[in-house]
């Protein structure tokens, strides 16, 4: 193996981020240089040494390393605690099963048999009975713990010891299966939490220091080495590498980045050292936004979930009353033994437990949301996932959503004695205070320093343009609507781009034609929506009608609303909603101006890659890759999840109803009732898990 050098933090090959002044050493010599080895981060094929003291002068760096070590120790303690907790919880289940099987096959009779099964029952039933008592005290008398407790005690009372224990044993097995499946579904979502970086290598005058990402400021430079997570959003200023963005975008192929490439926090640097200029603080970085969205996913329940919760509250008291009637009236009317009908009532109670319904429905939505997260689609709750299956209309914003938002000036026309250079200079000075993509395009075209003394009183008018004073004269740059508002006459123009008009003292002096290219895959995404059965696709834009129609034609969109101001988009969306009938309307956008429309739609979808923070906050669904094709994928996933949930509901209610009838007429015994509860619940859980691994081929 070739020597790999570590040492001076100013070098791109540095492997030590906390001892910047330590002389370079070769990897094979690390064991001899123990004071430095504590801070060496291993490269490929190497193992970092730890637990050795540090004598460097960088107290902050050493403190940071000690903090990281303490965090690792706490993590190990948590893992050990989890293992011990599971051992404590599950030994009772194992012990109860052992005693139970001994009682079944030992041939014991009388009191000995009762003692063995009573021991098995006590081992497994204590927690359930305690929860049943707590439920009664808190007013939740008829929950599943109460039902199982009563049914198992009844079985013991009439001498069916093995069946009484079996009720509790398999109920606990079902609970374990439910918890495992639910945790697995949650992990498919919360696995995104693993993208949270724990440190940042900040470039300082004294070298590179390892700090907490929350302590890094906008404008700071951070160093990201191969194998490390990018801690904050920013722009690459040095180096070329490949990034694993799968946790953010769902894209499995590595993304190549170089100078001026934007990078997301949570991505993993795969191949080489890069330096990144931080563009967002930690609180507003991509990884923080994703974690916030993930943590809120279970707060927005789907209508089906809410219905099942309400249904269970009504259903359970009804079946308890029915069980009481079964236990009391047939013996009185038919002059048969009470024990016979009490046993049948116990069967009725066991099979009537609503566990399969209560767990499988939310589990199905968790699975669907988890499957979407794996594909780079963040859905903020089960209600939005459910709504997507009923979408009939998808409404798109144009700029930045269907087009790249990378504007370029393709023509400058000077009028009334002005030159093209004059028009560019005036435009660049007026737009110099704006962050709008068009403003950036003008600044790039001008590519000269701005004289801030030439402009003052700048006012940006949303959806129209900019007004201000340029060298003491009243100046305007904006669209036709703005020119009309100030009484500036503009000529008819048949160009292919977006038009900006420049006026001085309310006299037109120039026209800028600005083009924007279609987003890759936009046409394919629109066709995918049509193939998914979407009734209509609509485009809203502030552009002129000619440009809007031309772009819509390329994409296969037939319904277009053009020359709209931001507030007018809401009005047009509402008119679309009125004509959509019972079907849902989705709006897809990316900009600050789209936030009101995203909030008004039945489902708002924001572009997470290029979209503004406000748009992402207002949206119900976030596409981390900005791919239009992901919308159709989300619709298919929603429908697939909906089918799974209804399969679970029909399975649970159908099997339970059948076994209830068979139990009442004496055909089904307690073992069949246990299958009707635990078995059906496990089948529903397994079915729900399919949503996590959804692919378009299903």
Task: Count CB neighbours of 214 within 10 A.
Answer: 13
Domain chopping of the chain, boundaries: 101-216+281-381+620-698, 382-404+518-619, 408-515
397 included as an active-site residue? yes
How is residue 161 written in tokens? 């010891």
Q: What is the DSSP letter of 676?
A: I
Q: Which residues contact 365 (CB under 8 A, 6 or more apart)?
A: 301, 302, 305, 382, 385, 386, 641, 645
Task: Give the tens place of pLDDT for each residue, 20-48.
Answer: 333 333 333 333 333 333 333 333 333 33
Task: Give the tens place of pLDDT for each residue, 262-311.
Answer: 888 878 888 888 999 999 888 777 777 666 655 555 555 566 666 666 77
Q: Which residues contact 358 (CB under 8 A, 6 or more apart)?
A: 144, 308, 309, 312
Flag whether pLDDT at 185 surpasses 60: no
Looking at per-residue pLDDT, the higher value among 106 and 85 belongs to 106
Task: Give the tens place of pLDDT for each residue, 449-468.
Answer: 888 788 888 888 877 889 99
Q: Check residue 179 and give its pLDDT.
A: 65
Task: Count CB neighbours of 259 within 10 A.
Answer: 12
Q: Quick one: average pLDDT of 366-373?
A: 82
- Tell me the CATH architecture of domain 382-404+518-619: 3-Layer(aba) Sandwich (3.40)
The pTM of the full predicted model, rounded to 2 decimals, is 0.63
Q: Comparing 7-16, 387-396, 672-681, which segment has the lowest mean pLDDT?
A: 7-16
What mean pLDDT, rounded, does the chain reach?
77
Q: How many helices (H) and strands (E) does the chain have?
A: 22, 24
In terms of Cα–Cα distance, which of 297, 272, 473 is closest to 384? 297
Which stretch, 5-19, 92-106, 517-531, has highest mean pLDDT?
A: 517-531
Flag whether pLDDT at 496 surpasses 80: no
Q: Check residue 251 and give its pLDDT.
A: 57
Just give the CATH number of 408-515: 3.40.1110.10
Q: Which of 143, 397, 543, 626 is catalytic?
A: 397
What stretch of H or E contains 275? Answer: strand 274-278
């Amino acid at each position: 193996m070739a020597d790999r050098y570590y040492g001076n933090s100013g070098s791109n090959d540095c492997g030590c981020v906390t001892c910047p002044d330590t002389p370079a050493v070769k990897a094979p010599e690390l064991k001899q240089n123990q004071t430095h080895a504590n801070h060496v981060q291993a490269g490929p094929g190497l193992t970092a040494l730890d637990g050795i003291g540090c004598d460097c002068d960088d107290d902050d760096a050493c403190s940071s390393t000690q903090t990281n070590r303490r965090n690792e120790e706490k993590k190990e303690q948590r893992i050990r605690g989890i293992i011990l907790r599971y051992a404590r919880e599950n030994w009772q289940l194992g012990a109860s099963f052992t005693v139970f099987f001994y009682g079944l096959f030992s041939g014991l009779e009388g009191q000995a048999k009762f003692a063995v099964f009573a021991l098995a029952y006590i081992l497994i039933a204590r927690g359930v009975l305690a929860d049943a008592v707590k439920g009664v005290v808190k007013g939740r008398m008829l929950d599943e713990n109460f039902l199982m407790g009563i049914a198992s005690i009844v079985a013991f009372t009439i001498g069916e010891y093995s069946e009484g224990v079996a009720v509790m044993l398999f109920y606990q097995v079902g609970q374990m299966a439910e918890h495992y499946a639910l945790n697995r579904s949650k992990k498919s979502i919360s696995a995104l939490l693993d993208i949270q970086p724990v440190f940042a290598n900040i470039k300082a005058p004294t070298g590179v220091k390892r700090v907490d990402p929350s302590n890094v400021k906008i404008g700071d430079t951070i160093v990201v080495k191969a194998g490390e997570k990018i801690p904050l959003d920013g722009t690459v200023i040095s180096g070329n590498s490949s990034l694993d963005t799968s946790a953010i975008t769902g894209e499995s192929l590595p993304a190549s980045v170089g100078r001026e490439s934007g990078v997301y926090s949570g991505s993993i640097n795969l191949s080489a050292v890069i330096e990144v200029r931080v563009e967002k603080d930690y609180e507003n970085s991509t990884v923080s936004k994703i974690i916030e969205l993930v943590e809120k996913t279970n707060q927005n329940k789907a209508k089906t979930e809410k219905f099942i919760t309400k249904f269970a509250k009504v259903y359970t008291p009804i079946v308890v009353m029915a069980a009481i009637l079964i236990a009391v009236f047939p013996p009185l009317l038919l002059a048969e033994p009470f024990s016979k009908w009490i046993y049948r009532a116990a069967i009725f109670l066991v099979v009537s437990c609503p566990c399969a319904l209560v767990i499988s429905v939310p589990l199905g939505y968790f699975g669907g949301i988890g499957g979407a997260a794996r594909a780079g689609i963040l859905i903020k709750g089960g209600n939005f996932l459910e709504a997507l299956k009923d979408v009939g209309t998808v409404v798109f914003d144009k700029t930045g959503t269907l087009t790249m938002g990378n504007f370029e000036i393709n023509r400058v026309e000077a009028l009334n004695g002005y030159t093209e250079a004059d028009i560019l200079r005036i435009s660049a000075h007026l737009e110099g205070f704006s962050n709008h993509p068009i403003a950036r395009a003008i600044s790039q075209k001008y590519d000269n320093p701005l004289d801030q003394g030439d402009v003052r009183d700048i006012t940006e008018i949303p959806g129209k343009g900019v007004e201000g004073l340029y060298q003491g004269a009243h100046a305007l740059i904006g669209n036709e609507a703005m020119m009309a508002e100030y009484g500036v006459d503009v000529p008819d123009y048949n160009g292919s781009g977006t038009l900006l008009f420049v006026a001085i003292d309310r006299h037109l002096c120039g026209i800028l034609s600005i083009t924007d290219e279609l987003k890759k895959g936009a046409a394919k995404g629109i066709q995918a929506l049509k193939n998914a059965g979407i009734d209509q696709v609509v485009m809203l834009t502030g552009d002129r009608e000619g440009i809007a129609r031309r772009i819509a034609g390329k994409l296969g969109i037939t319904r277009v609303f053009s020359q709209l101001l931001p507030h007018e988009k809401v009005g047009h969306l509402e008119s679309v909603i009125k004509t959509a009938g019972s079907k849902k309307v989705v709006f897809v956008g990316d900009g600050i101006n789209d936030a009101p429309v995203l909030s008004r739609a039945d489902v708002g979808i924001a572009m997470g890659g290029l979209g503004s923070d406000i748009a992402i906050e207002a949206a119900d669904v976030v596409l981390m890759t900005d791919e239009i094709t992901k919308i159709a994928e989300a619709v298919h996933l929603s429908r697939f999840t909906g089918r799974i949930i209804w399969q679970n509901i029909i399975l649970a209610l159908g099997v339970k109803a059948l076994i209830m009838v068979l139990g009442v007429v004496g055909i089904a015994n307690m073992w069949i009732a246990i299958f009707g509860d635990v078995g059906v619940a496990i089948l529903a859980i397994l079915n729900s898990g399919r949503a996590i691994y959804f692919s378009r081929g299903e």
